[in-house]
Amino acid sequence: MKTLALIEQGKDGSFSIYTPNLQSTIIGSGNNVEAAKKDFANSTAEMILSYSETGRKLPKELTDLTFEYKYDVASVFNYYSWINVSKFSKIAGINASLMRQYKKGISYISEKQANKIEIALIKLGNELLSVRL
């Protein structure tokens, strides 16, 4: 079963991952996204193992479990720190100062602005996919 795993950056700079759509909540945390994903994978494995060790039936929602990771804006720009936020803001059509605030997680981002950023990320990704050396 494929389910959503949200990645968020906390005010202290650490990252957490959680599963809002599962009844069996799985969480992970770390100083960066990679560490949080590793902790999250470990938590998932431990949860599944606990069912087999105690002889309980594994819930359907945990069977063949895969995750679709979604980031908050601050986490995206932290994880992909090589993206120049000022230049990226031009692609997205968002004020550079406001984009830096989104990156720091200090400003609320509307759904409209989040969609602009997602479209610009897709555009950037497609451009990178077309590069040939």
How confident is the model over 26-75, as pLDDT tens digits? 999 999 889 999 999 999 999 999 999 999 999 999 999 999 999 888 88
pLDDT surpassing 90 at residue 96 = yes
Whether 59 contacts 24, CB under 8 Å: yes
pTM beyond 0.95, yes or no: no
Percent of the chain with pLDDT over 70: 100
As a whole number of angstroms, the distance between CA 47 and CA 51 comes to 7
As a whole number of angstroms, the distance between CA 78 and CA 2 comes to 25
pLDDT at residue number 24: 87
Q: Average pLDDT in the 5-18 region?
A: 89
110 in helix, strand or coil? coil
Q: Which residue has the tokens 């069996």?
A: 24
As a whole number of angstroms, the distance between CA 34 and CA 114 comes to 23
Amino acid identity at 62 = L
Do β-strands 2-9 and 66-71 pair in parallel, antiparallel, or remain unpaired? parallel
pLDDT surpassing 90 at residue 106 = no
Conformation bin of residue 45: beta by default, left when phi > 0, alpha when psi is -120 to 50: alpha
pLDDT surpassing 90 at residue 19 = yes
